[in-house]
Chain A
Amino acid sequence: MEQSWNRAKAIFATVLGPPLAWLLLFFLIPLTIVWVYSFGTNVGLTEIAFTGTFSNYARAVEPLYVGIFLKSVGVAGLTTLLCLIVGFPVALAITFAPDRLKAWLILLVMLPFWTNLLIRTYALIAVLRTEGYVNLSLGWLWTHASGLMTMVGLSPLTRFEPLELLHNNFAVVFGLVYVHLPFMVLPLYSALDRLDRSLLEASLDLGAGHVRTMMMVVVPLALPGIASGILITFIPALGAYLTPDLLGGPDSQMIANIIERQFKRANDWPFGAALSFLLMYMTFIAIALQAMLAKRKTEAGS
Chain B
Amino acid sequence: MDLLTHWLGNAPDFAVPFALAALGLILTERAGVLALGAEGLMLVGALAGIGMQLGVGVAGVSLLVAMVAAGAVSLLFALMVLVLRINQVIAGLALVFFCQGLTGLAGTVFGWTNRPVSGLNTVELWPLSELPLVGKIFVQNPLVYLTVLIFIAVVWFLYRTQTGLRLRAVGENPQAADAAGIPVLTYRLAAIVAGAALIGLAGAYIAVLSTKMWIADMTGGRGWIAVSLVIFARWSPWRALAGALLFGAIEALIPQLAATGVRLPQYFVLMTPYAVTLLVMIWVALGSRESASQPGALGEPFIREQRR
Q: Do A and B bind each other?
A: no
